[in-house]
Amino acid sequence: MKNKYIIIDSKDNCATALEDIPQNAKINLIDRSIEIHHEIPLGHKFAINHIEKEDYIIKYGEIIGIATEVINEGEWIHTHNITSSYLEVTKDG
Amino acid sequence: MDEGFLGYPRSNGTVGIRNKIVVVSSVVCVNTVVRRVAEKIDNAVAITHPYGCGQRGISFSNTFNILGGLASNPNVYGALVIGLGCENLLSSSLANRIKDSKKPVESFNVQDVQGGTINAIEKGLGICRGLDQEAREIKREFFDFSHLTLGLECGGSDSTSGITANPLVGVVSDKVVSLGGTSILPEFTEWIGTEHLLSRRAINEEVALMIKTPIKDFLERTMERGIDIRGTQPTPGNIAGGLSTIEEKSLGNIAKAGKAPIQGVINYTEKPGGKGLWLMIEPGLDVESVTGLAAAGAQVIIMTTGRGTPFGNPVTPVIKICGNPKTCDYMASNIDVDASRIITNNKSIGDISEILWKMLKDVCNGEQTSAERLGFEEDIGIWRARGL
């Protein structure tokens, strides 16, 4: 049996696909099942919680970026809806 | 029984997981002499390189410290240094550097042996047979993990490295640190994008600055040449593979170092000044990194590789762990731990980190890595300061 996704740290609000996950697929998390809204290619991320605009995206238990719009549970997370927080932090040296 | 391993006690208080004799060339001109000696002694390994003559500055000191550091590694019982006689990296100076580790060391120059290389090889063999006999009298004893220094490396990375192999190595690194041991994360160019997160893990403000400053200097120097590395990462290929931001990419790399507090930052080949997790400033080329970690005293190295890589090290076993199912199939004889079962076999990071932890202990107790079984042990790279 194959794992469809991996959640690397318990603090994470996103999961990483371990295979191409088709649109409308049902994904079983530990406590509930969620629906995937877009096709998620292998290696790409999807939200496992509702994420507000300007919330942090957490992977590895650390901040990997900031949401530029509301991201719903099961939605694809990528460059179209998050931005680097590092570039903001280091802008002024 | 408490966690620990069976290692060889050394007179300077360190503990080896191997019991090797090293034959070191101080200059490229005598590499073949060195190999002819080492190949005739079971327990001996040749340490050769293309340098040792006409070197100056950091290029010279890195070569000197790599050779001296490798021969001083706890996995080494004793050393023979062979020079030619007219080079600027003197065999006698190198032997003195190794003597600081209280190991038996001998040295001579080929130009000083009547009879040329035929007699020089015989002379070397005589010395090494004596060292080998002494080494065989040392028996393994039980030690706890406070005596272990683990090096963390990745190379030939792919999109599986950051989500499978690297995070589970982080679990094992944290375990070594929690048992009182030491762990070293090299490859500082791969920390870019996480320095604000890494510096928060520093034990004090001084260490935080030691993390931030070299990265800031590096970014400034590259920006003077018109390149903003931060704007080039992640690459288009990374983005196609699913990485969205520079910090996500770098976090995948530094996941190898787990979550332990950072005790300090050391230079290439430098020994950590205490236990716990340390960062090493060096440029991140696989063989140069592994050689630098071994020269800093790491007795064992765990290397993650998505695409597969075969190399080893003369003194320090390198455990290979791979998260890519195709590589684990194609290069099975070069991979020690198959982490691709996280993808193909419903295993978790926790499941495979337990397998890796057992493998680490087995290798400490004497089990050979794939690179050791294949005799891949003469791989040496020396960073020569190419304008970082």
Q: Do A43 and B241 touch (CB under 8 A)?
A: yes
Q: What is the mean pLDDT of chain B?
A: 94
Query: pLDDT per residue over B233-257, tens digit each?
Result: 888 888 998 999 999 999 999 999 9
Query: pLDDT per residue over B107-130, tens digit each?
Result: 999 999 999 999 999 999 999 999
> Residue B25: CB partners within 8 Å, gap ≥ 6?
B31, B33, B34, B46, B47, B48, B49, B52, B81, B82, B83
Burial of B282 (0-12, 13-18, 19+ CB in 10 A): buried
* Residue in A with minimal Cα distance to B195: A86
Which whole number is the average pLDDT over B48-67?
A: 94
Q: Is residue A28 very low, low, confident or very high in pLDDT (cuts 50, 70, 90)?
A: very high
Percentage, residues of chain B above pLDDT 70: 99
β-strands B318-322, B300-304 pairing: parallel
Residue A17 belongs to what H/E stretch? Answer: strand A14-17
> Residue B146: CB partners within 8 Å, gap ≥ 6?
B179, B180, B181, B275
Maximum CA extent, chain B: 66
Percentage, residues of chain A above pLDDT 90: 80
B contact test, residue of A4, A18, A62 with most B CBs within 10 A: A62
Residue at token pair 């020089």:
B120
Whole-model pTM over 0.90 = yes
A18 to chain B: which residues are within 8 Å by CB?
163, 342-343
> Residue B314: CB partners within 8 Å, gap ≥ 6?
B20, B22, B45, B46, B47, B70, B294, B377, B378, B379, B380
Residue at token pair 């550097």:
B97
Q: Do B163 and A16 touch (CB under 8 A)?
A: yes
Q: Spell out the domain ranges in chain B.
A: 20-136, 145-373
Q: Is the pLDDT of residue B387 over 60?
A: no
Query: Phi/psi of residue B191, each to 5°?
Result: -90, -15
The predicted pLDDT at position B157 comes to 84
Q: Is residue A90 very low, low, confident or very high in pLDDT (cuts 50, 70, 90)?
A: low
The predicted pLDDT at position B2 comes to 76
Residue B279 belongs to what H/E stretch? Answer: strand B276-281
Residue B360 belongs to what H/E stretch? Answer: helix B349-364
User: Helices B57-72 & B286-295, crossing angle to 10 degrees?
Assistant: 60
Which SS3 state, helix, strand or coil, does residue B239 take?
helix
Q: Do A84 and B246 touch (CB under 8 A)?
A: yes
Which whole number is the average pLDDT over B147-168?
A: 92
Query: Phi/psi of residue B257, each to 5°?
Result: -90, 10
The answer to whether the beta carbons of residues B381 and B287 sit under 8 Å apart is: yes
Chain A: nearest CA to B329, how far in angstroms? 17
Q: Is the pLDDT of residue B191 over 60?
A: yes
One-letter amino acid of B195: E
User: Helices B57-72 & B91-99, crossing angle to 10 degrees?
Assistant: 50
Other CB atoms within 10 A of residue B259 CB = 16
If one compares A88 and B161, the residue with the highest pLDDT of the two is B161
Q: Do A65 and B252 touch (CB under 8 A)?
A: no
The predicted pLDDT at position A91 comes to 57
Q: Do A84 and B247 touch (CB under 8 A)?
A: yes
**How does DSSP classify residue B264?**
E
The predicted pLDDT at position A89 comes to 67
Which SS3 state, helix, strand or coil, does residue B259 take?
coil
* Residue in A with minimal Cα distance to B255: A60
Distance CA B8, CA B30 (A): 30
The predicted pLDDT at position A93 comes to 44
Q: Is the pLDDT of residue A2 over 80?
A: no
The answer to whether the beta carbons of residues B183 and B150 sit under 8 Å apart is: yes
ipTM for the complex? 0.95
The answer to whether the beta carbons of residues B154 and B161 sit under 8 Å apart is: yes
If one compares B364 and B189, the residue with the highest pLDDT of the two is B364
Class of domain A5-89: mainly beta
Find out whether the peptide bond into B234 is cis, omega within 30 degrees of 0. Answer: yes
Other CB atoms within 10 A of residue B284 CB = 18
Q: What is the mean pLDDT of chain A?
A: 91
Architecture of domain B20-136: 3-Layer(aba) Sandwich (3.40)
Query: pLDDT per residue over B80-89, tens digit each?
Result: 999 999 999 9
Check CB contact of A2 with chain B, cutoff 8 Å: yes
B349 to chain A: which residues are within 8 Å by CB?
6, 8
* Edge-to-edge strand list for the sheet holding B5-9: B15-16, B5-9, B141-143
